[in-house]
Structure 1
């Protein structure tokens, strides 16, 4: 008899701490370290978020599991911004509704999950803002106003326009700086 998904997830996570291990629609997904393009995009997003995050006393966490509920998947986004004292599920997992912003940089293997699957998991878990950065398309997609199975608002910005992060951020992002 196969071990429950949560047990297999924990085992793989412990065996491969250098990888991002997540469960997505009942699949265990092991992600290697990003390419230089992926990491460059991630750095540029982090650079844009760093000063406002520090000013507010928040933290940027890479490689933290997002707890979406007891019977739900476990996603590991590229970046998670959390308040001073976030509510943790385990030492490696923060509750989705205790985050301030989640960021994923799209790679060739993650596009479907980042665009379609993860927003449907984050919204019911109360993740307030989910930012999807796509270097290939040079677009940024912000999911906001979580409720039920889908976010109430999706805003897409390209290189020519800034993207406004709503409360608690109240921050315009210069999307052109991501490329």
Structure 2
């Protein structure tokens, strides 16, 4: 994918973001997907970001809702992505997914399939070492590791309550989950 292809994709998405403020937007499987952002979503991102930031060295930094074009049909905007600080300092609107070392998604009612089914394949195919899904609708976290061409070969589901510990190339990272919000209006899912 060339720089002009990346610019074109990001330009497409930027036009729609301006038209629908308050919505998280991505290009997934060739479709522009929108999800309204709720307070539980933003609070989860903030809490996880703060915990991870305190544990990472200065050579790493975060992006949130910044475009990572995977191909012409998939431009994801992860809730949190850990990338080299030198790249984040460039303050770009889009980055190569090959820069991501760890990625975090927070589930919303409209992102369930994308977060659990679509994104793991793409994130793993690019060698992203760790993928964390925080789900305020179910009150649990799913950790995925050991990426391969067909997806992640390791996966655990941990209910909110105990600390989550992730062995990653960035070191051993711990996120307390007892204080993470659970959506009181969420309908149970199968």
Q: State the TM-score bracket (shorter-chain normalisation).
A: 0.7 to 0.9
State the partner residue of 1:22: 26
How far apart are residue 120 of structure 1 and its match?
1.1
Q: 1:177 aligns with which of 176, 179, 185?
A: 179
- Are residues 95 and 11 of structure 1, via their aligned partners in 2, closer, same or farther at CA, if it must alter by over 3 Å? closer
SS state of the match for residue 47, structure 1?
Answer: helix
Runs (5+) with no aligned partner, structure 1: none
SS state of the match for residue 48, structure 2?
Answer: helix
Q: 1:49 aligns with which of 21, 46, 52?
A: 52
Deviations 1:82-137 (A, max 9, x none): 122349xx932222231121111101111111111110111112222111000121
- Are residues 76 and 44 of structure 1, via their aligned partners in 2, closer, same or farther at CA, if it must alter by over 3 Å? same
Aligned residue pairs, count: 170
TM-score, length of structure 2 as denominator length: 0.77
- How far apart, in 1, do the equivalents of 2:105 and 2:9 lie? 24
Superposed counterparts of 1:64-83, under 5 Å: 64-68=66-70, 70-83=71-84
Answer yes or no: is the 8 Å Cα contact 2:52–2:173 preserved in 1.
no
- How far apart, in 1, do the equivalents of 2:13 and 2:82 lie? 25
- Are residues 156 and 15 of structure 1, via their aligned partners in 2, closer, same or farther at CA, if it must alter by over 3 Å? closer
Q: Which has the higher relative contact order, 1 or 2, with Cα contacts under 8 A spaced 6 or more apart?
A: 2
- How far apart, in 2, do the equivalents of 1:8 and 1:47 lie? 30
- How far apart, in 1, do the equivalents of 2:73 and 2:146 lie? 20
TM-score, length of structure 1 as denominator length: 0.82
Answer yes or no: is the 8 Å Cα contact 1:9–1:23 preserved in 2.
no
Deviations 1:33-72 (A, max 9, x none): x11121112221112112113x34311111211232x445
Superposed counterparts of 1:95-174, under 5 Å: 95-166=96-167, 167-174=169-176
Answer yes or no: is the 8 Å Cα contact 1:104–1:133 preserved in 2.
yes
SS state of the match for residue 82, structure 1?
Answer: strand
Runs (5+) with no aligned partner, structure 2: 182-190
Larger deviation: 9-18 or 92-101?
A: 9-18
- How far apart, in 1, do the equivalents of 2:171 and 2:85 lie? 14
